[in-house]
Amino acid sequence: MKEKPYILVVDDDPNISQLVKLYLEKEGYEVRTAQRGDDAVNEFTRLPPDLMLLDVMLPGMDGYQVLRSVRKSSAIPVIMLTARDETFDKVLGLELGADDYITKPFDTKELVARVKAVLRRSQGGEEEKKTDLSFPGLTVSIAEYAAYYEGRRLDMPPKELEVLYFLASSPNQVFTREQLLKQVWGFDFFGDSRTVDVHIKRLREKLPDSEKYGWSIHTVRGVGYKFELN
């Protein structure tokens, strides 16, 4: 069993990689670096990290391709690094299963804070005993970290599943976007409410015609969302 969390830093700029490595090691983390996307996938396969810091612009494979590869087999936390503060880049990363994003240039203290927050969130579920949820046509299995709709396992990134599980755990209760950010992403999430909208949109696309089973993910205009049982 590892004594301290292992973080893989993936960035093609060796100066950034080494600076981040230095700060994270000072916080007690084990850190390794990769400068190419394909090298990052190989390193992930050889020794899966507890968290990956992943730049978008990489040689070999870009960050989105690396994230797709990682998500085929793992739900480890991934924080995307992007040089462009554009909504499209952030939304695409979140849709592919990233847990957070940070825009370059970034403050190293802020980066360390995000790493701690994401790790704390990903490792903090053990004190709560969670049970699988079942509704007509839908099963959300926390044991498998998977969702099944009409008997078919859905291709669902971790945060989408967590949003679905959280809403379905309290049927007919309305949650604001801010409450969902707080409960699913954690107190220290640095994104905005559009993150929630993106995940709800993706969930609805994967759960078409759910009303025929007597439930749906419902928008309460001007307030937020709820898992509605009819």
Question: Torsion angle, CA of 92/94/98/99, rounded to 10 degrees?
Answer: 160
- Domain 6-125 CATH superfamily: Response regulator (3.40.50.2300)
Q: Residue 143: is its pLDDT beyond 70?
A: yes
Query: Please, where are the H alpha helices in the chain?
Result: 14-26, 37-46, 63-71, 87-95, 108-123, 158-169, 177-180, 194-206
* pLDDT, tens digit, 9 for 90 and up, residues 55-67: 999 999 999 999 9
pLDDT higher at 191 or 142: 142
pTM above 0.85, yes or no: no
Q: What is the CATH number of domain 129-229?
A: 1.10.10.10
CATH topology identical between 6-125 and 129-229: no
pLDDT band at 146 (very low <50, low <70, confident <90, very high): confident
Q: Hey, where are the domains in the chain?
A: 6-125, 129-229
Quote the pLDDT of residue 4. Answer: 86
Hey, is 37 helix, strand or coil?
helix
Do residues 158 and 230 touch, judged by C-beta distance below 8 A?
no
- Residue 62 has φ and ψ, to the nearest 5°, of -80, 170
pLDDT band at 71 (very low <50, low <70, confident <90, very high): confident
Residue-by-residue DSSP string for 145-194 = TEEEETTEE----HHHHHHHHHHHHSTT--EEHHHHIIIII-TT----TH
pLDDT band at 88 (very low <50, low <70, confident <90, very high): low
pLDDT higher at 71 or 186: 71
Q: Residue 225: is its pLDDT beyond 90?
A: yes
* pLDDT, tens digit, 9 for 90 and up, residues 97-112: 888 888 888 888 888 8
pLDDT higher at 159 or 125: 159
